[in-house]
Amino acid sequence: MNESLLKELSEAAGIPSREEALRSIVRRELASVVDSMEVDDMGNLIAFKKGRGQKKLMIAAHMDEIGFIVKHIDARGFMSLQPLGGFDPRQLFAQRLHVHGYAGERLPGVMTYNTKPAHLLTPEEARQSPTIEKFFVDVGMSAEELGEKVRIGDMVTLDRNAERCGDNFIGKCLDNRVGVFVMIEAMKALGEHELDIYAVATTQEEIGLRGATTAAYAVNPDIGIALDTTLCCDYPGSADADAVTRLGDGVGIKIMDSSMVSHPKLVNLCRDLSERDDIPYQMEVLPRGGTDGGAIQRAREGNVSITLSVPTRYIHTVNEMISISDAEAAIQLLTTLLQESHSADFSLE
Ligand SMILES: [Zn+2]
Domain extents for the chain? 3-65+172-343, 67-158
Q: What is the mean pLDDT of residues 328-348?
A: 96
Taking 90 as the threshold, does the pLDDT of residue 331 lie above it? yes
Taking 80 as the threshold, does the pLDDT of residue 118 lie above it? no
Task: For residue 297, give the 3-state DSSP assignment.
Answer: helix
- What confidence tier does 132 reach under pLDDT thresholds 50, 70, 90? confident
Query: Ligand 1 center to residue 111 CA distance, Å?
Result: 23
Q: Phi/psi of residue 214, each to 5°?
A: -80, -35
Q: Phi/psi of residue 114, each to 5°?
A: -85, 90
Taking 90 as the threshold, does the pLDDT of residue 114 lie above it? no
Query: Ligand 1 center to residue 175 CA distance, Å?
Result: 5
State the first-to-last Cα distance of the chain, in angstroms, to the nearest integer: 42
Residue 263's contacts (CB-CB under 8 Å, 6 or more residues apart) are 297, 304, 305, 306, 346
The residues annotated as belonging to the active site are 205
How high is the pLDDT of residue 143? 95
State which amino acid sits at residue 127: R
Query: Ligand 1 center to residue 77 CA distance, Å?
Result: 33
Query: Ligand 1 center to residue 209 CA distance, Å?
Result: 9
CA distance 16 to 261: 25
- What confidence tier does 198 reach under pLDDT thresholds 50, 70, 90? very high
Rounded percentage of the chain residues whose pLDDT exceeds 90: 89
User: Helices (H) and strands (E) in the chain — how many of each?
Assistant: 9, 17
CA distance 227 to 26: 15
Q: What is the mean pLDDT of residues 274-292?
A: 96
Query: Ligand 1 center to residue 286 CA distance, Å?
Result: 13
Angle between helices 174-189 and 324-340 (to 10 degrees): 50
- What confidence tier does 18 reach under pLDDT thresholds 50, 70, 90? very high
Residues 272, 277, 279, 284: what is their CA dihedral angle, to the nearest 10 degrees? 0
Q: pTM for the complete prediction?
A: 0.96
Taking 90 as the threshold, does the pLDDT of residue 120 lie above it? no
CATH class, range 67-158: mainly beta
Report DSSP letters for 190-238, one per residue.
Answer: --S--SEEEEEEE--GGGTSHHHHHHHHHH--SEEEEEEEEE---STTS
Residue pLDDT, tens place only, 226-278: 999 999 999 999 999 999 999 999 999 999 999 999 999 999 999 999 999 99
Q: Kindly report the average pLDDT of the chain as a whole number.
A: 95
Burial of 261 (0-12, 13-18, 19+ CB in 10 A): middle
Q: What is the mean pLDDT of residues 27-33?
A: 97
Helix (H) or strand (E) run with residue 269 in it: helix 264-277
Check residues 30 and 94 and name the one with the higher pLDDT. Answer: 30
How high is the pLDDT of residue 119? 84
Query: Ligand 1 center to residue 122 CA distance, Å?
Result: 38
How high is the pLDDT of residue 104? 87
Residues 273, 276, 282, 285: what is their CA dihedral angle, to the nearest 10 degrees? 40
The CATH homologous superfamily to which domain 3-65+172-343 belongs is Zn peptidases (3.40.630.10)
Task: For residue 340, give the 3-state DSSP assignment.
Answer: helix
Residue pLDDT, tens place only, 144-184: 999 999 999 999 999 999 999 999 999 999 999 999 999 99
How high is the pLDDT of residue 272? 98
Query: Ligand 1 center to residue 205 CA distance, Å?
Result: 7
State which amino acid sits at residue 4: S
- What confidence tier does 345 reach under pLDDT thresholds 50, 70, 90? very high
